[in-house]
Structure 1
Amino acid sequence: MRTVPAVTAVEAAELIPDGAVVSVSSSSALGCPDAVLAGIGEHFAQTGKPCGLTTVHPIAAGDMYGVPGIDHLAQPGLLSRIVAGSYPSGPSSAEPPRIWKMIEADEVEAYNLPSGALFQMHRAGAARQPGILSEVGLDTFVDPRHQGGRMNSATTEDLVTLESREGQEWLFYPAVRPDVAIVRATTADECGNLTFEDEGSTLGALDQAYAAHNNGGIVIAQVKRVAAAGTLDPRQVRVPGILVDALVVHEEQWQTTQTVYDPAISGQIRRPLEVVEPAPWGLEKVIARRAAQELCKDDTVNLGFGISALIPRVLVEEGHADAVTWVIEQGAVGGVPLTGFAFGCALNPQALMPSIDQFTLLQGGGFQCAMLSFLEIDQFGDVNVHHLPGRRHVTAGVGGFADITSAAPNIIFSGNFTAGRRDIAIEEGRLIIRQDGAVPKLVERVSAVTFSGRRALAQGRRVRYVTERCVLELREQGLTVIEIAPGADLQRDVLDKAAFPPAVADDLREMDARLFRPEPVGLALDTPHHTKAGMR
C-alpha cells in the first residue's frame, strides 16, 4: 500500500521547481494552506528557491486580518505571475497587502479572472482539454476587447480570447495545467486520503489536485492531523490519496480567520437560530430590508458580499430563516450565510458542494435571484464592483460576481447612493439628509465594467438597484427611479446627485415606510415579485 510522506513546510517548498505553475486552493482564510505558503516564502528568503513562480488562485489566498496567504509569496523574484479570481482586501485605512503593492508597482504580472471560470479551467486541464468556452465575462473588463482581466502595465499577454461559434460570441479560457497543487483538508491518513470534516467547504481541492496529478505534477496537502491507514470513512474522503504526494501537518490550523472552530459551519451539528444576531439598526439595514422584499418564498438565491450579506440576518429576524435557500460560491447550500471573518461559510448548511459544482448551478442560471452589491453604477446600468482607482486593495476583485451575473434571471444590487463623509439619519420613519456624500456612485461611466447592463437588458433579465433613498430599475429607456424614500426629495437628493439624468417612472411610489423604523417590518414573501422560471 502506497504511503505519503509527512514533511515540513520548508521541505514541501523544496519540492517546487523554479518556474512552476502553482495552483492554490483557498477562499480568503477559509481553507487557506497558510503554513505551506509560509514555508515557500521562508525557503525563498533563505535560498532564492523556488523562483519565477506563476500562482493560480480561483479565490483569494489570505486576507488582511491574520492570514497572510499569498503575501508569503509576494517577494520579487519568487513570484513572476499571479492569476486570481480575487485578492486579499480590507479597509482603505489599512496597510495594503504586499501583493497589491507588487501589482501596483508593476513588479508582477497579474490577472483577475472570474472564479467559476478558473475552477473550470482546472477541470479542463485535468481532462486534457484545451480550455472552456463561456459567456461569463462578455462585455466586461474580462473581455479582451476591454482589459482582458489584466491588472497593470506589466501584464501584456491576453489569456482570454474572443471566439465566434455559429454566430454567437464566446470567451475562451485556456486550461490550467499546474506543476504543483497546494490544498488543505482536516485529516489525512497515511495513504494521503483527505477528509474535510472541520472545513466550511472543500472549495476546488479535488479538481486542482486532478489538474496537477494528471499533468505529471505534484499535490501538497496541508492537514490538521494524520490518521492510520484504513481508518477514514471512505464516504468522507473528498480527495483520494492516489493524487497526494506530500503532507504538511499544521495542528494549529483554524477553521477561518479569527473564528473558533464551529461544527455548525462544517455541517456536523445544527445550532438554534437565536445565535444569529440581528443586523444593527441603520441605513445598511434599511437597504437590506428593501432588497429582501424582492424575494419570494421557496426561491433559490445567490448571495454576495457587502450590504447584501445582511439580508439573511434580516430574514432570520423577520421569522423567514428557511423561506429561501441560499447558495454561495464557496459551496454552501441552505442555512444562514455568515458575515465578517466567516464570510463564505453558512450556519447550518443543508449541503456543502465543491465550488466548481456550485458554479455549474450559477452559470447555468438554475436559481431565481442574485443579491449583490455595487461600488458604481452608470447610465447604461453597468456596475463596477471590483475597481477603486488608488484604493484597489479595498476590493477583492471579480470573484464569482461575473459567473453569477452572467445568467441570473433576477439581479438585485444593494449599496449607498453616495460615498464619502455623510450625515444621514432616520427620524420618525423618514430619511433626513443633513450632509450628503461628496462622491457620486451614479456616474456617467463606471471606471471598470464588472456587470454589463446592456447585455442583461438585451437578454431580458430583471435588474434593480436598491439604495437608502431610492430604488432604480434597468429599463429600455435607461436607469429609472421607481421608488423614493419617505423624507427624500426626488430632485435634490436623487436626480441632482447623479452624474447623469435618470428617468423617473410614471408610477413613482414611496418606499415602504416600515423599512425606516427599527422594529421588524412584518416581511411577507408569498407574493411573487418576479418571474420564477429560473432558466433563460
Structure 2
Amino acid sequence: MPRQTHPLLSHRPFTEKGKVVSAREAVNLIRDGDALATGGFVGIGFAEHLAVALEQRFLKTGQPRDLTLMYAAGQGDGKSRGLNHLGHEGLVAKVIGGHWGLVPKLQKLAVEGRIQAWNLPQGVISHLFRDIAAGKPGTLSRVGLGTFVDPRLDGGRINDATREEIVRLLPIDGEEYLFYKAQSLQVAFLRGTTADTLGNVTMEHEALVLESLAIATAVHNCGGVVIVQVERLAERATLHPKDVKIPGVLVDCVVICDDPEHHWQTFSTRYNPAYSGEIKAPMATLEPMPLSARKIIARRAAFELRPNAVVNLGIGMPEGVGPVASEERVLELLTLTAEPGVIGGLPASGLDFGAALNTQAIIDQPAQFDFYDGGGLDIAFLGMAQVDGEGNVNVSKFGSRLAGAGGFINISQRARKVVFMGTFLAAQGELAVADGRLKLAEGGLAKFVEGVEHRTFSGPLAIQEQRDVLYVTERCVFQLTAQGVTLIELAPGVDLDRDVLALMNFTPAMPAPPSAMDGRIFLDHPMGLRDDLLSRPLEQRFTFDAAEEIFFVDFENLRIKSQADIDAIRHAAESRLAPLGRRVYAVVNYDNFRIDEDLLETYTAMVSYLEEHYYSRVTRYTTSGFLRMKLGDALEQRALSPHIYDNAEEAREHLKP
C-alpha cells in the first residue's frame, strides 16, 4: 500500500527537545476514522498513559470518533485498565483483536453488535503487523483452518454487524491456506523504558519486547504517527545501538510518562528486575499444591513431559503443571516458554502472565510465533471448556461471554503434542481423595458436549495431520484417534457408566476397557516423576560392538522396582545375545543404579544366568562406593566376580585377559 504521510505531522507541536511531547499533544494527532495499533501483553508493554489521554480527550470533546483498533494479545486487567479505556461507543467502530477476555468494556460493545469486531489468532496478528510493514497484501498461514476463523465457519467475525471478510481460503498446490488481509494503520501506541531526543527507544525495564518494532515499522510505512511512552529521556547518541529496540527514524512522538501509576512493569507488579532479565533472582521452591482436582489433572498431564522438551503452559488449569514439575524436581529438565517471547525460566501467572523469572532469552513476539508455527514446540498444555465427539475444543466463546482465542489456535495447531486439561464437569463441587481413590461430588454441567459452541481447535484437522492429542480430567483421560475422542484411562474409585458415560453428551470410542490412571497421582506425596523421566527405554540400553565383540549394557539411572523389571532385562538381553550363537565380552554401567533390597537375590540370579550362557567375561563400573559394596557382596554370594570398577575406562581396560 502506498505511503501517505499523516497531514498533521507537518504541524507537530514539537518542542526544542525534538520529538518529545505531552500525552495530550500526542493524542491530538489522532483523527476520526484512523486505525490504531497497540502493543502489549496483559499489562506488559502497554502504553497506559497514552490510552488514558485518548479516553480523556474523547470524553471531553467527543473526538476522535470511529477508530479502528488492532491488537494481537489481550491488553487489560479484566476491569478498567488497558484497552478498556477505549470501550466507549463512538470512540471505536471496528476492532480486530487476538484476545477479548481482559477487555470487558470492548467485549460488551462487540457482543451487543454495537461495533464491528473480529477475533483472529494472536500469532497471525503479530505476523500481520510485520507483513504490513513489508508492504505485503496480507499474511498467508495454515493457522486457523478448521476453527471459527476459517471463512467456511465464521471467518473470525464476532457478531452479525461484522460483514466485511478479512479472511479468505486460498488453496496453493493442493493445500489449503488462510489469507489474512492487511490493514492500513495510521497510529501506533507503544512503550519503552528510555528514549533519546532523536526518538531511539530502549526497553531495559520491560519484561517483553513484543511486536513493537513490527508495529512501529508498519505504521511508519503506512505514513502514520508512531507514539512511544517511556519512563525517561536521554541525550541523543547516548544509547547503546544494540539496546535500541525501536529506532528513532520510525518514531514521531516520545511521551515521558509523568504518572508512575501508568507505567507499571505488569498490571500486577510495579517493577521486578528478574522479569526484565537485569538480575537472576533466587528461585524459591514452589509450595506443593494441595491434593485437589487441579493437582490431579496437572499430575496426570505432567506424565507427558519428556527431558529436554520445549514446553508451552497455557493460562488457568495448565499453570498447575509448573508447581507439579517443581515438586517432582523436573523443572530443570525442561525449557518452558510463553507466547509473547520468553524462552526458559519460570513463566509468571495472573496479571504477570507473559513475563518469566530468570528467563534465558526474550525475543520479539512475531519471532516466537515463527518458532511455534514452524513446529518448534514439543508439547503444549492448554485449557478446555467444551469438547465434542470429533475432538473439537472451545475456549473462546460461551453465550454472551467472549474470551477470544489469544495464542491458543497457533499453539494447539502446531505443537507436536497437545494436552488439553480441565475438570470433567463445569462448576462441580469439591472432590475428595481417600486411600488413593476418588470420591466425586455431585452436580456440574457437561463439558463433553454433542457439538462445541465455538470451534477453537479442530479435531478432524488434528486427526488428518496425525497429531498427538490428549484430554486430561480428574476422573478419566481421552485420546484423539481416527475414531474420534477415545476413552483410554479411568481414575480409581470412578464408575465408568455412572461417573463418566452418563455425564457425557456423546459416547466416546472405547475399543478396549480403559486402563487405570497411575495410582501415584492420587497419593499425597511426590510421585517420583524425575526417575521416570530420566529412565531410558530398556531397548535403548543394550549395544553390541561387533568389531570388538563387546556387549555394552547401560543401566545408568535405572531403577529396579519389581520382578517384572528383572524379567524384562533378561528377555531384552537374551533377544540380542542368543542370535549371535557365541559368547561375548560385556561391560555394564551401574551409575545411579537403584534396586530394592528384597530384589537383590533375584536380580543376581538373573545376572548369573546371563553370565553362564552368554558372556565370556564381564566387567562392571559405578562411581557409587555404596553400590559397589552392596552389589559386589551380592555377586560374590553367587560366585561371580565381585569387583566393580570406578569408571568405564577401568572396566574396559580389565575386560579382556
TM-score range, shorter chain: over 0.9
- Corresponding residue number in structure 2 for 1:534: none
Summarize deviations over 1:109-142 as a string: whole Å, max 9, x none.
1100001111111111111111121101011100
- Corresponding residue number in structure 2 for 1:25: 39
Aligned: 1:304 with 2:318: no
- Corresponding residue number in structure 2 for 1:239: 246
Match of 2:111 among 97, 104, 112: 104
- Corresponding residue number in structure 1 for 2:326: 316
Summarize deviations over 1:26-62 as a string: whole Å, max 9, x none.
1111111111011111101111221110010111221
Runs of 4+ in structure 1 deviating by more than 6 angstroms, as ranges, are none
TM-score (norm 1): 0.93
Residue 5 of structure 1 deviates from its aligned partner by 2.5
Q: Kindly tell me: are residues 353 and 123 of structure 1, through their superposed partners in 2, closer, same or farther at Cα, counting changes over 3 Å? A: same
Counterpart CA distance in 2 for 1:338 and 1:140 is: 28
Match of 2:147 among 117, 126, 140: 140
Q: Secondary structure at the match of 2:397?
A: coil
Summarize deviations over 1:183-232 as a string: whole Å, max 9, x none.
11111122211111111111110000000011211100011221222222
Match of 2:273 among 246, 263, 269: 263
Q: Secondary structure at the match of 1:216?
A: coil
TM-score (norm 2): 0.76
Residue 321 of structure 1 deviates from its aligned partner by 1.6
- Amino acid of the structure 1 residue aligned with 2:380: A
- Corresponding residue number in structure 1 for 2:75: 61
- Corresponding residue number in structure 2 for 1:93: none
Q: For structure 2, list consecutive stretches of 5 or more residues without a partner in the other structure.
A: 1-15, 538-657
- Indicate if the aligned counterparts of 2:285 and 2:326 stay in contact, CA closer than 8 A: no
- Corresponding residue number in structure 2 for 1:373: 383
Instruction: State the identity as a percent.
Output: 41
Residue 275 of structure 1 deviates from its aligned partner by 5.3
- Amino acid of the structure 1 residue aligned with 2:74: A
1:470-489 alignment, distance < 5 Å: 470-489=476-495
- Indicate if the aligned counterparts of 1:3 and 1:192 stay in contact, CA closer than 8 A: no
Summarize deviations over 1:60-90 as a string: whole Å, max 9, x none.
221225x52112111121100000001243x
- Amino acid of the structure 2 residue aligned with 1:473: Q
- Structure with the largest fraction of helix: 2
Counterpart CA distance in 2 for 1:460 and 1:9 is: 52
1:252-401 alignment, distance < 5 Å: 252=260, 253-274=263-284, 276-392=286-402, 395=403, 397-401=404-408
Counterpart CA distance in 2 for 1:74 and 1:128 is: 30
Counterpart CA distance in 1 for 2:61 and 2:290 is: 50
- Corresponding residue number in structure 2 for 1:455: 461
1:91-240 alignment, distance < 5 Å: 97-240=104-247
Aligned: 1:71 with 2:84: yes
Bigger RCO of structures 1 and 2 (CA < 8 A, at least 6 apart): 1
- Amino acid of the structure 2 residue aligned with 1:176: Q
Match of 1:87 among 91, 100, 107: 100
Q: For structure 1, list consecutive stretches of 5 or more residues without a partner in the other structure.
A: 90-95, 530-536
- Indicate if the aligned counterparts of 1:19 and 1:51 stay in contact, CA closer than 8 A: yes
- Indicate if the aligned counterparts of 1:285 and 1:310 stay in contact, CA closer than 8 A: yes
Counterpart CA distance in 2 for 1:48 and 1:275 is: 52
Q: Secondary structure at the match of 1:173?
A: strand
Match of 1:37 among 47, 51, 60: 51
Summarize deviations over 1:260-298 as a string: whole Å, max 9, x none.
411111111112221544434421011111111101000
Q: Secondary structure at the match of 2:106?
A: helix
Q: Secondary structure at the match of 1:262?
A: coil
Summarize deviations over 1:450-508 as a string: whole Å, max 9, x none.
00011001111110011000111001122111111111111111111110011225252
- Indicate if the aligned counterparts of 2:336 and 2:347 stay in contact, CA closer than 8 A: yes
- Indicate if the aligned counterparts of 1:310 and 1:339 stay in contact, CA closer than 8 A: no
Counterpart CA distance in 1 for 2:84 and 2:337 is: 29
Aligned: 1:495 with 2:501: yes
Counterpart CA distance in 2 for 1:127 and 1:18 is: 26
Provide the aligned length of Structure 1 versus Structure 2: 517
Residue 306 of structure 1 deviates from its aligned partner by 1.6
- Indicate if the aligned counterparts of 1:34 and 1:62 stay in contact, CA closer than 8 A: no
- Corresponding residue number in structure 2 for 1:92: none
Residue 447 of structure 1 deviates from its aligned partner by 0.3
Aligned: 1:526 with 2:534: yes
Counterpart CA distance in 1 for 2:249 and 2:256 is: 18
- Indicate if the aligned counterparts of 1:374 and 1:415 stay in contact, CA closer than 8 A: yes
- Indicate if the aligned counterparts of 1:371 and 1:414 stay in contact, CA closer than 8 A: yes
Summarize deviations over 1:331-376 as a string: whole Å, max 9, x none.
0001111112211111110000100000000001122111111110
Counterpart CA distance in 1 for 2:268 and 2:304 is: 33
- Corresponding residue number in structure 2 for 1:514: 520
Residue 3 of structure 1 deviates from its aligned partner by 6.0
- Amino acid of the structure 1 residue aligned with 2:106: I
Aligned: 1:9 with 2:23: yes
Residue range with higher mean Cα deviation, 241-250 or 202-211: 241-250
Q: Secondary structure at the match of 1:416?
A: coil
Residue range with higher mean Cα deviation, 397-406 or 227-236: 227-236
Counterpart CA distance in 1 for 2:420 and 2:314 is: 10
- Amino acid of the structure 1 residue aligned with 2:256: V
- Indicate if the aligned counterparts of 1:376 and 1:442 stay in contact, CA closer than 8 A: yes
Counterpart CA distance in 1 for 2:217 and 2:426 is: 45
Summarize deviations over 1:357-403 as a string: whole Å, max 9, x none.
000000011221111111100000000011111333xx3x1111111
Counterpart CA distance in 1 for 2:265 and 2:286 is: 19
Counterpart CA distance in 2 for 1:444 and 1:527 is: 40
- Amino acid of the structure 1 residue aligned with 2:534: D
Counterpart CA distance in 2 for 1:237 and 1:352 is: 14
